[in-house]
A = this chain, B = another copy of it.
């Protein structure tokens, strides 16, 4: 029998990598990417820093795995999304501050020169804006207030989601993130039939 459990070697290895990625998410939330040391991540899964490097050859490789995890995470339906599902997403996010903090910290860092997540976020935003435009079109057609088009509204929708996250992370008591987001959506729904 392999090890004490019923896992194959390959499955165990992937399990280990997933553990490490989870730990990395936590540490990045706490200290950012630049502030996250491999040693801190390793310690959290009971490894030495060099042991961790066996699974991810460089720090950047670990970051890539973290970003891929996120891609997989919100690669949900896409166009099939509805606006009320966005509300649910924001409500769900409000219950998971650690994840939000990780990617808010990464987004902030990513605008600096040569940051390894910069390209990721740039492309992600392009994708998300298109996706949101599709959602808006599905929900409201082209009848948005003030002659706004879904194309032009999408950046606003994304900006509201991100911007609210920072305010909420810094002061959750003072900012009702889901409530504010619903307010914004109601603003869009005004000119509807």
Contact = CB atoms under 8 A, between A and B. Distances in A.
A180 B158 CA distance: 11
A183 B113 contact: no
A46 interface: no
A125 B110 CA distance: 22
Among A107, A161, A179, residue most surrounded by chain B Cβ atoms (within 10 Å): A107
> What DSSP secondary structure best describes chain A's contact surface?
helix
Interface in A7-43: 29-32, 34-35
Interface of A: 29-32, 34-35, 101, 104-113, 118, 121-122, 125-126, 129, 145-146, 148, 152-153, 155-156, 158-164, 166-167, 169-171, 174-175, 179-180, 183-184, 186-188, 190-191
A153 B105 contact: no
7 contacts: A107-B166, A111-B170, A145-B186, A156-B187, A159-B162, A161-B163, A163-B163
Contacts of A158: 163, 167
A34 B30 CA distance: 13
List of 9 A-B pairs having minimum Cβ-Cβ separation, nearest first: A108-B108, A159-B163, A163-B163, A162-B163, A111-B169, A122-B170, A159-B164, A146-B186, A34-B34
A183 B118 contact: no
Given A106-B108, A125-B170, A145-B190, 15 more contacts: A29-B112, A30-B112, A32-B109, A32-B112, A108-B111, A122-B170, A125-B167, A156-B164, A159-B160, A159-B161, A159-B163, A159-B166, A159-B167, A161-B163, A162-B166
